[in-house]
């Protein structure tokens, strides 16, 4: 995985703004880094990673399966968990082996005026897999007035936040195709530097965009049909 500095510098070199072996001006790096952050946001807004569901959690902790826009409207919601594994029940038809996971089940029932709590530890409750590549979680906090975004990178199996990256941070979505990501950034900032984009850079950007949207490198995901 590459740093944001490497992606920014590579994009500037592809545009001919930066000579090989040289370091760019700080102002040029800053402008390109701002464009990189904005590019992630535009991908999410355009639906490149899929549609997001709106969720308003009510408990003290909420575990998101991904592809959700979470609105924290109450101070009672203290924790949002970005999972390392998510439930997966459609594994059989798609050729991958999920991990069976276990959980403690607590059943509360009432018989007459008596409350009965039945606890069964370590019961198998389903299967799980890492979140789908490109899963997005957006948390909008009405209490603090901030919005933060995370993207799941299926290549290195990590949640990454593009909002606050600095030059020496790892650039989200760079592990699969760093040249493609730098080419996308080159297209994004070419007008700022009054630069022309080489044909090879355009091809690399198109390749990266197709990989990001189609995700043919991953197993198919079954979806429910809607008929009207």
DSSP 161-191: --TT--TTSBPTT-SS-HHHHHHHHHHHHTT
Q: pLDDT grade, residue 5 (50/70/90)?
A: very high
What CATH number does the domain containing 32 carry? 1.10.3230
Residues 38, 52, single domain; the answer is: yes
Strands (E), the chain: 53-55, 61-63, 68-72, 79-81, 86-87, 99-111, 114-129, 136-141, 146-153, 158-160
| Three-state secondary-structure class, residue 20 | coil
Domain coverage including residue 35: 4-84+135-214
Say yes or no: 102 and 208 in one domain: no
Q: Output the pLDDT for position 43.
A: 94
Of the candidates 129, 147, 164, which is a domain's last residue?
A: 129
- Angle among Cα 198, 199, 200 to the nearest 5 degrees reads 90
User: Per residue in 61-120, pLDDT tens?
Assistant: 888 888 999 998 887 777 888 888 776 554 444 445 556 655 565 666 667 777 676 767
Q: Are residues 17 and 118 in the same domain?
A: no
Tell if the pTM clears 0.85, that is, is over it. no
Strands 146-153 and 136-141: antiparallel
Same domain, 101 and 169: no
- Domain C-terminal end among 94, 129, 164: 129
Lowest mean pLDDT among 54-58, 154-158, 181-185: 154-158
Q: How far apart are CA 73 and CA 145, in angstroms?
A: 10
pLDDT, averaged across the chain: 82
């Amino acid at each position: 995985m590459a740093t944001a500095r490497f992606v920014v510098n590579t994009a500037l070199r592809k545009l001919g703004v930066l000579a090989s072996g040289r370091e760019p001006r700080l102002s040029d790096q800053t402008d390109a880094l701002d464009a990189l952050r904005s590019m992630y946001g535009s991908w999410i807004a355009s639906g490149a990673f899929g549609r997001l569901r709106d969720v308003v959690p009510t408990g003290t902790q909420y575990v998101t399966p991904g592809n959700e826009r979470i609105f924290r409207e109450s101070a009672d919601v203290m924790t949002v968990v970005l999972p390392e594994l998510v439930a997966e029940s459609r594994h059989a038809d798609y050729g991958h082996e999920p991990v069976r996971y276990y959980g403690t089940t607590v059943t509360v029932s009432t018989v007459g005026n008596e409350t009965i709590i039945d606890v069964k530890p370590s019961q198998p409750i389903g299967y799980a897999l890492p979140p789908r590549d490109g899963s997005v979680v957006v948390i909008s906090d009405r209490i603090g007035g901030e919005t933060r975004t995370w993207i799941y990178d299926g290549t290195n199996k990590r949640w990454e936040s593009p909002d606050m990256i600095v030059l020496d941070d790892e650039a989200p979505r760079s592990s699969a195709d760093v040249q493609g990501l730098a080419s996308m950034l080159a297209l994004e900032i070419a007008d700022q530097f009054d630069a022309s984009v080489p044909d090879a850079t355009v091809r690399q950007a198109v390749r990266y965009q197709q990989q990001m949207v189609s995700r043919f490198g991953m197993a198919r995901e079954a979806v429910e049909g809607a008929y009207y």
